[in-house]
Structure 1
Amino acid sequence: MPELPEVEALREFLDGALTGRTIEKAWPVAVSVLKTYDPPLTALEGGTAGPARRYGKFLAVPVAGLHLVTHLARAGWLRWHDTLPEQPPRPGKGPLALRVALAGGGGFDLTEAGTQKRLAVYVVHDPAEVPGIARLGPDPLDPGFDRAAFAALLAGERRRIKGVLRDQSVIAGVGNAYSDEVLHAAQLSPYALAAGLGPEQTDRLWTALQTTLREAVARSHGLAAGRLKAEKKSGLRVHGRTGEPCPVCGDTIREVSFADSSLQYCPTCQTGGRPLADRRLSRLLK
């Protein structure tokens, strides 16, 4: 799933590639992708795109007084084309969900792999009209989001810290992958209770959150959209690396599986050497 660093890189890419260009045509290839119907998608045609903005994991492009907003969900992506096919796209079972053609040639596709179609597109007068944006918590890279603000958020949370970091209404933009990375860098168990963290642990977590995200954004700076997925994967130290050695201590990275996701962690670095219970795996072994 694209998270804050990748969406920020896409925003930066679109600033250079899309700003000032005129939308010639927009096709909703997969009808399910459109979550709003008034204004219609066709209202963007003939309008000039302005600088893109990021809201957590949402991308918003202003066009002629409106905003084209998208959330790429788990398996969505934006693919830029300097040249588009001459024939308009046809609805089908492929990954193409929406195509935008630009005057003068080129444009971009929104695609989504897999069978669970969660990619979402909105056409609104104000990005705050999108329910997911309206619910967002503070952006962790906002200059006003300091250590004190972070500690105040954690103080009222009785949940495990992994879930708190992923909750978009608490902190915007962090998902499954970077929450694993942040907790590994902070040397904290994903099962630790957020409100139970002491001042030193909170300091470590705050520093890890800032460092992990800012380094990921820096690595993605200037990359074309097509290279961002590979960059994200190459920069991850524990997420998606079950069975590999921890790059810090050499212990084996372990996994806890859930119904539709999993987390990865290092026992030595994060849980005092104790493996976390994986109830899903335990059920399979019975």
Structure 2
Amino acid sequence: MPELPEVEALALDLRGRLDGRAITDVHLAAFSALKTYDPPVTALAGTLVDDVTRHGKFLDIDASGLHLVLHLARAGWVRWRDEVPATPPRPSSKSGLAVRIVLDDGSGLDITEAGTKKSLAMYVVRDPQEVPGIASLGPDPLTDEFTRETLAGILEREGRKQIKGVLRHQGTIAGIGNAYSDEILHAARMSPFRPANAIVDDELDVLYTAIRETVGDAVDRSRGLAASELKGEKKSHLAVHGRTGEACPVCGDTVREVSFADSSLQYCATCQTGGKPLADRRMSKLLK
């Protein structure tokens, strides 16, 4: 899933490519992706791209006062095309194409989504705050407003909730998803199941630093890369996420996994839980 660093880099890459270009057409290949009806998609035809920005994990293309907002969900991506086909795409679940944006010089963007679970979303709005997911976002962890005191207040409010879930909740902190929450907690040497309000004093300092540095470093590494390079860059720098069974780069212990219904987390027991493996409820049921 694209998270804050990848969406930030996408916005930067697309800002350079789209600046001053006119949108001539937007083709919907997956009608379920469109979540708004007023203004209609056709209102984008003839608009000039003024800017491309990010709100959490939402990508925002500002075109003559209208905003084409994309949430790439778990398996969505943006692919640049130097030349788009002259024939509009036909709706098809097999192609993976959800939306095609055509520009005035014949180039364009393909918004794709892999897999069968379709949750990619596109909004056409006059103000990004009209998108419910943007209006409810928590603070961005890379802004000056996200201070140690801000984090302390969040952890106190979230009470006994597990810190892994707190970091992932977009209404609490914007932009951090499954991958970077694993990486942050590994950097902080902290259990993903630790209660939020138990993180105080020195541990709070460590967690705050881990959030800022993990996400900030990923943004710095991604800055200037083309969209086609971002997935590989992200994967190559992950310490534990997606590396079940491999050696922890810090201590050499085996990276372990806890599985849930629709996701999983990865961690190092030596670095994060005092050497004690966390209970994997799915595996426990299989072993009974």
TM-score by length of 2: 0.98
Structure 1 residue 182 and structure 2 residue 208: aligned?
A: no
In the alignment, what sits opposite 1:70?
A: 70
> Structure 1 residue 152: deviation in Å?
1.2
In the alignment, what sits opposite 1:124?
A: 125
Letter in 2 for 1:181: E
In the alignment, what sits opposite 1:220?
A: 222
Letter in 2 for 1:136: L
Distance, in Å, in 2 between the alignment partners of 1:144 and 1:189 is 26
Distance, in Å, in 1 between the alignment partners of 2:238 and 2:37 is 39
- Structure 1 gap segments, 5+ residues each: none
Deviation digits for residues 167-186 of structure 1, max 9, x if unmatched?
Answer: 10010000000000000000
In the alignment, what sits opposite 1:115?
A: 116
Runs of 4+ in 1 over 3 A off after TM superposition: none
In the alignment, what sits opposite 2:97?
A: 96
Matches of residues 183-198 of structure 1 in structure 2 within 5 Å? 183-198=185-200
Distance, in Å, in 2 between the alignment partners of 1:220 and 1:155 is 33
Letter in 2 for 1:67: H
Letter in 2 for 1:274: K
What secondary structure does 2:49 align onto?
coil
- Structure 2 gap segments, 5+ residues each: none
Cα pair 2:152 2:200 within 8 Å, conserved:
no
Structure 1 residue 18 and structure 2 residue 25: aligned?
A: no
Distance, in Å, in 1 between the alignment partners of 2:204 and 2:41 is 45
Distance, in Å, in 2 between the alignment partners of 1:7 and 1:40 is 25
| Percentage of matched positions with identical amino acids | 62
> Structure 1 residue 86: deviation in Å?
2.2
> Structure 1 residue 147: deviation in Å?
1.0
Structure 1 residue 164 and structure 2 residue 158: aligned?
A: no
Distance, in Å, in 2 between the alignment partners of 1:280 and 1:221 is 38
In the alignment, what sits opposite 1:137?
A: 138
What secondary structure does 1:17 align onto?
helix
Distance, in Å, in 2 between the alignment partners of 1:151 and 1:198 is 8
In the alignment, what sits opposite 1:30?
A: 30
Q: Which of 273, 280, 283 is the matching residue for 2:282?
A: 280
Distance, in Å, in 2 between the alignment partners of 1:11 and 1:92 is 27
Cα pair 2:178 2:265 within 8 Å, conserved:
yes
Distance, in Å, in 2 between the alignment partners of 1:155 and 1:92 is 47
Letter in 1 for 2:42: T
> Structure 1 residue 88: deviation in Å?
1.5
Structure 1 residue 146 and structure 2 residue 147: aligned?
A: yes
Distance, in Å, in 2 between the alignment partners of 1:248 and 1:129 is 44
Cα pair 2:51 2:63 within 8 Å, conserved:
no
Cα pair 2:33 2:119 within 8 Å, conserved:
yes
> Structure 1 residue 284: deviation in Å?
1.1
Matches of residues 230-269 of structure 1 in structure 2 within 5 Å? 230-269=232-271
After TM superposition, the structure 1 stretch with the greater mean CA deviation from structure 2, 164-173 or 81-90, is 81-90
Deviation digits for residues 218-257 of structure 1, max 9, x if unmatched?
Answer: 1111111011111111110100000000000000000000
> Structure 1 residue 144: deviation in Å?
1.6
After TM superposition, the structure 1 stretch with the greater mean CA deviation from structure 2, 186-195 or 154-163, is 154-163
Distance, in Å, in 2 between the alignment partners of 1:50 and 1:115 is 34
> Structure 1 residue 198: deviation in Å?
2.3
Letter in 2 for 1:145: F
Distance, in Å, in 2 between the alignment partners of 1:104 and 1:235 is 36
Distance, in Å, in 2 between the alignment partners of 1:71 and 1:156 is 27
Letter in 1 for 2:208: W
**Number of corresponding residues:** 286
Letter in 2 for 1:125: R
Structure 1 residue 49 and structure 2 residue 40: aligned?
A: no
Structure 1 residue 5 and structure 2 residue 8: aligned?
A: no
> Structure 1 residue 31: deviation in Å?
0.4
Distance, in Å, in 1 between the alignment partners of 2:47 and 2:150 is 40
